Amino acid sequence: MSECDQARSTRSASNGRTGGVFKGRKALARAGVTLMVGLCVSMSLSGCDMRDWRWFNRKVGIDGTYACPRPPDPFQTQGFNGQEREIRYYRHLAFSNDFFAQLELANRYAALDASDKNLEDHIESSVWLVMALANQQGYAPASRAMDPRGGVLASRYDKCRAFERERAYRMLDNELSMMDSGERDKVRDRVIYIQSTLGADGFRTLGRLYDDQYGPMGEPADNPQAIRAMMRGRNYGMSNVRTLFERSDVDAYLYNYKASETGDVGAYVLLKDFEKSAPTRAKYSSFVESKARRWVAPYEFYPPEAPQGGVPHSDESRPDDAASYALSRMEELPFIHVVRALDYLNLLNVACFEPKDVPKQTIDGLRSMIGMPGGERLTYLDRVRAIQLAAVNGDSRSQLVLAVMYSEGVGVEVDYARAFYWYQKAESQGSPEARYAMSTYFDLGMKGVADQNKAESVVMQLDAALAGFKPSAGRLQAVLAQVSRTPEN
């Protein structure tokens, strides 16, 4: 029997919310909808394309359509440890934009199975429903050339994905209907963060989400699920889904511009097509360019919140080559800055002069705060996260160091907008070093992040001088010198 033939049927929904709001969810669960992802999550049908599909003729779902086949669960360990491994496995794939992994996470966080009750988090469930619905893997037609017998397999695959998306739309609309504006903002911010980690593809997806020429989740406007979601009337449509990303030419333009900034040639072509797609769009160009250069993602890293008693959320985004190189430069940052950040977070109670001096208890404590499993040694990423976490929690020294890191590309990729953001945070707490650094931004003008303003620069330098400019500038220059030097020097 093939892997696809061994697909197990489904996680039943015994734990939906009360009050009858999730009747659709329960009905689907009773129908035995299968949403268990396994080792075939790469979306390739190469392992299934010539197999016996007779079992696939069993119709499931309240509308008599098909759910996509699933391979067996790759994890056999029972209990919390097994559940944690599964969640991290699916998050890793979902952050890489895997359609079925995103669906699986949505089901897990919605607690459709009683065994996942400790994971219940409807904000997180909605995030992954949006990611799945916006994912082209879910709606791009499969090639009929996949099956030499006339495209029957590809046709059925299209049908099963259409069923999955229809179900996800209903589930998302129900989830959003019970959220206040703050919770909906969280869903939107988390989606924006995840998409921003996907580079040009992610920014293009965000552009479609705000573009009124596409469906509610950025799919083609003639997509059947998009058409049903957009229908008006008491018994039709999904108003909560339609209003999650309010349509805006400026925002659509912004994210298309961000995609082109990555250097992706296709993104540049699409940007020019976008500018020509409506008469009014080209007039926004100068405004959008300025806004794009000041744009920063909603978070430093994915919020490590955790459902009560569940597995903490973790950031499973994968660094590209540039990010990996920046991370390798963490050796250039004086370790004292990491020690101070750990001390600020109350994680360190012994003197440390080198990474090897940091006790395992401290490493485990840091990783638990960012939703990751413990470890034996302090990695480069741990050092970055320590400084980021201290900065996010209000440590002005870590905010200043993080700003320098973004300025120099140490630990994190160069991002002048992000650097200026953290200089501002540190300066607002009275840091004369940050005020001095900001004055250089205004003095020179930094890639549109801070427009050249000589008068503002002079004022800030005078303020820094009154706050002890010389020693402060000296300390900042010492940090910059340490960070900027190459390993060969």
Tokens, residue 175: 């989830």
Mean pLDDT (the chain) is 77
Instruction: Assess whether pLDDT exceeds 90 at residue 345.
Output: yes
Domains, the chain, ordered by start: 23-294 (no CATH), 321-484 (1.25.40.10)
Q: What per-residue confidence (pLDDT) applies to 170? A: 93
Confidence tier at 173 by pLDDT (50, 70, 90): very high
Most confident of 108-112, 228-232, 305-309, 404-408: 108-112
- Measured CA to CA, the distance from residue 221 to residue 235 in angstroms comes to 21
CB–CB of 300/268 below 8 Å?
A: no
pLDDT for 478: 58
* Interacting residues of 176 by C-beta distance below 8 A, sequence separation 6+: 126, 184, 187, 240, 241, 244
Residue-level pLDDT at 333? 92
Is residue 436 over pLDDT 60?
A: yes
Residue 425 has pLDDT above 50, yes or no: yes
- What's the CA gap between 274 and 295, in Å, rounded? 20
| Residue 254, C-beta contacts closer than 8 angstroms, at least 6 positions apart | 207, 288, 291, 292, 295
More confident residue, 198 or 376: 198
| Per-residue pLDDT at 362 exceeds 60 | yes
pLDDT of the residue at 481: 60
3-state SS of 72-131 is CCCCCCCHHHHHHHHHHHHHHHHCCCCHHHHHHHHHHHCCCCHHHHHHCCHHHHHHHHHH
Backbone angles phi, psi at 440, to 5 degrees: -70, -30
What does the alpha-carbon distance between residue 73 and residue 91 come to, in Å, rounded to a whole number? 15
pLDDT tier for residue 56 given thresholds of 50, 70 and 90: very low
- What's the confidence (pLDDT) of residue 54? 29
Q: Which alpha helices (H) appear in 329-431, and where do they start and end?
A: 336-344, 360-369, 380-392, 396-408, 416-428
Report the alpha-carbon distance of residue 21 to residue 45 in Å, rounded.
36
Report pLDDT digits (tens) over 455-486.
Answer: 444 444 445 444 444 544 555 555 556 555 55
Token pair for residue 290?
């300025």
pLDDT over 80 at 441, yes or no: no
Is pLDDT of 136 > 50? Answer: yes
* Chain mean position to CA 357: 33
